[in-house]
């Protein structure tokens, strides 16, 4: 079992783009979810796929199980998605000993840019690049699971709260 420990931030500006070391396009579909767990399939660059199971209530730290699966199986599972299938391009940036993953969303979340940094333990304090904005680690709206199952696009992309609709 692997433990995923990560922090999430809004991205401000494009300063990270010149520091990119790699990128990959994702389609990410949630197959099942409950209050403290989720099952998702991720198709990467239309060539390979992974099935991921996450367990835990905390947004910063959860148990994570991830397995390569056949692309054809992943496509079939994505067709069974609960809610919105997330589309994004993930860019990796190295900064002061940490790998930052910048997700530039397409589809329903076109315009949203979020950075994640994975850490060895919750007490780690990575140096924040100048293109990092507000931390959203504990904000459930920025959870990919919530974005997929509750369609937060109006609020997160356009700043329109569902309460004001």
DSSP-assigned beta bridge partners for residue 154: none
Residues 6+ apart with CB under 8 A from 101: 90, 91, 92, 115, 116, 117, 118
Q: Show the tokens assigned to 83.
A: 């809610």
Catalytic residue (one of 30, 91, 105, 109): 30
CA pseudo-torsion sign 6, 26, 85, 16: positive
Is 30 part of the annotated catalytic residue set?
yes
For residue 147, which phi and psi values (nearest 5 degrees)? -60, -35
Catalytic machinery residues: 30
């Amino acid at each position: 079992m692997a433990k995923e420990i990560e922090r999430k931030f809004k991205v401000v500006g494009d300063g990270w783009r010149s520091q990119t070391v790699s990128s990959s396009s994702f389609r990410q579909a949630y197959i099942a979810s409950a209050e403290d767990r989720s099952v998702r399939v991720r198709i990467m660059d239309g060539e390979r796929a992974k099935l991921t199971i996450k367990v835990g209530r905390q947004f910063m730290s959860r148990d994570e199980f991830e397995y390569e699966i056949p692309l054809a199986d992943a496509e079939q599972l994505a067709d069974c998605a609960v809610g919105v299938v997330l589309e994004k391009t993930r860019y990796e940036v190295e900064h002061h000993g940490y790998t930052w993953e910048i997700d530039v969303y397409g589809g329903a979340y076109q315009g949203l840019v979020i950075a994640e940094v994975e850490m060895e333990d919750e007490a780690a304090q990575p140096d924040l690049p100048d293109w990092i904005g507000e931390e959203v680690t504990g904000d459930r709206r920025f959870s990919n699971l919530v974005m997929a199952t509750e369609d937060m696009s109006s609020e997160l992309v356009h700043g329109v709260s569902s309460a004001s609709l």
